[in-house]
Structure 1
């Protein structure tokens, strides 16, 4: 079986089989039409308006806190484990599907085409980006667990609570059709496979030694995101509005989506650096003084 898959590996089938065919069959059986026909349409596609997400997020936080005011933390260990196992598997599946779609573009057309060309935005990728957006809705359950366990969401700005602005980020990039979206998405999915596996293992009582390395990986993720996104954003504006600044050419996507992406990913980088400082550096300093 393994030898057969290796023999079938190609630019179009980096895994030896075409995973999207199997996904398409499952999608068609549920939705009633092929995944290749998907188009994200505001106001028509489910959950395709941003206010829905904002309302849901703040309802969970403030409504949940109010309901839990006079209650003890609820036991939810098993549900939390299942939640994290499923998110690990789903994140891994989306990562594999995304890589399968991107590898042929990178191999045949190069990095600039895959990051910036309008032709690099395909129905298959749009659907994967949309499913990744829906996963951000699912991840609101993280905040729900924090609320029912009566965990503080404030002082260290818990990652699970604060980063639900990623839902807004995914939404704006879908609407703006920013081809470079795959860079932060593929890095985010990679981190999330490890992160939700970590959450699952710690929920079982395991002592995981690589938590600090996971946070470091998250910081590196945002550094890479910003290098790529600031580069293509600069190139777009230099190409569009000047005749003298050096650039790589234009880049697909709206200016509003680019600005929002730059702003929120920059804030994430500072958030994680601060989280790292509070969680690890201050802890090390306390250990030295004791």
Structure 2
């Protein structure tokens, strides 16, 4: 314990001797530990305690609160942008107010928004800025804050409109370009910071690397977010389009196969019309269809025989035929070669009468 206290005391003396005297008495500037404590509390709150407390609760809507908060952030960032040279401490303070971004996500149970990028970005910034305010306020260090506050004016304007409700979503098509602007910001910060590796202007090299490497880290984190959020979405849309086109092509192929199968079936049906088969009312080899015979004689309505002779019972024709003759199946004399037995007897009697008359 004594060793830890000795280390803390030596670090405190170093900060007092090397820190900027103008900021020594500013709130939370005497030691980095208050800032570190707030940052660690923030991470614990949004990643552990907050989700646990909201687990069995309904999400808060907070629409009016979000609109007000984002409007304040826009105004605050605009003022910081204008007064950056004289307001570096307020810029440091603004990093704490931005914790509310994540706290509102937790209260609304938007846990998918509490990403690693989001937590690292907000959790690191107060500590990063603290060192800048403590040791190098103003001058070269203000470029980073100046550029960042300009981006935040645009970013919180976007968030404010987004919080106003669905009716404003049509005006928020430029989210992708906001992310692009953030990445451009980090590139400019890298160039601005690392130029001092080649130019000597009495600026601490440690802060050159501190600011420059922060910009490198955030650039790659935001670039990964950009690829997942926008290029990944484009890939999904492309895959969906390819699936639809492939499905349509498969359906067209299936339709062609069905048409081909139907044509083959029709050909087979036409071929099967021979040898007494019936299909769709067509008659072949004396079979009946729709009351007509192949020789054109109507059967059911006129009670005619196929060969011009026959007999009826109750006005109907009995269906059994053989060699051009009809059979009543026992209810009338059988037809023989198209003539009934009654007709044969009548013909015999007429022949006998003619013979008798000739003899007279």
Q: TM-score range by the shorter chain?
A: 0.5 to 0.7
| Matched residue, 1:39 | 22
Deviations 1:208-247 (A, max 9, x none): 0111111111010000100111111x13xxxxxxxxxxxx
CA distance in 1, matches of 2:207, 2:81: 23
Deviations 1:109-132 (A, max 9, x none): xxxxxxxxxxxxxxxx3x411101
- Report the Cα offset of residue 55 of structure 1: 3.0
Deviations 1:79-98 (A, max 9, x none): 11110000001101111223
8 Å contact 1:95–1:189 — kept in the other structure? yes
Unmatched tracts of structure 1, length 5 or more: 1-37, 99-124, 236-247
| 1:60 equivalent in alignment to 2:45 | yes
CA distance in 2, matches of 1:202, 1:152: 17
CA distance in 2, matches of 1:158, 1:266: 13
Unmatched tracts of structure 2, length 5 or more: 1-20, 241-360
CA distance in 1, matches of 2:179, 2:38: 26
| 1:189 equivalent in alignment to 2:189 | no
CA distance in 2, matches of 1:139, 1:169: 14
Runs of 4+ in 1 over 6 A off after TM superposition: none
| Matched residue, 2:231 | 281
- Report the Cα offset of residue 70 of structure 1: 2.0
Give the match's secondary structure for 2:231. Answer: helix
8 Å contact 2:36–2:127 — kept in the other structure? no
**1:204 aligned to which of 164, 188, 197:** 164
CA distance in 2, matches of 1:67, 1:200: 26
| Matched residue, 1:74 | 60
Counterparts of 1:83-98 in structure 2, within 5 Å, are 83-98=69-84
- Report the Cα offset of residue 39 of structure 1: 2.7
TM-score by length of 1: 0.67
CA RMSD of aligned residues (A): 2.1
Give the match's secondary structure for 1:71. Answer: coil
Task: Using CA pairs under 8 Å that are at least 6 residues apart, name the structure with larger relative contact order, 1 or 2.
Answer: 1
Bigger Rg over Cα? 2
Give the match's secondary structure for 1:88. Answer: helix
Q: Kindly tell me: are residues 69 and 156 of structure 1, through their superposed partners in 2, closer, same or farther at Cα, counting changes over 3 Å? A: closer
Greater per-residue helix proportion:
1
8 Å contact 2:193–2:209 — kept in the other structure? no
- Report the Cα offset of residue 158 of structure 1: 5.2
Q: How many residues align?
A: 209
Deviations 1:181-228 (A, max 9, x none): 121111111110000000000111212011111111101000010011
CA distance in 2, matches of 1:256, 1:69: 44
Deviations 1:99-154 (A, max 9, x none): xxxxxxxxxxxxxxxxxxxxxxxxxx3x4111011011111111110111122257
Q: Kindly tell me: are residues 172 and 191 of structure 1, through their superposed partners in 2, closer, same or farther at Cα, counting changes over 3 Å? A: same
Counterparts of 1:236-275 in structure 2, within 5 Å, are 248-253=199-204, 255-275=205-225
| 1:148 equivalent in alignment to 2:107 | yes
| 1:138 equivalent in alignment to 2:97 | yes
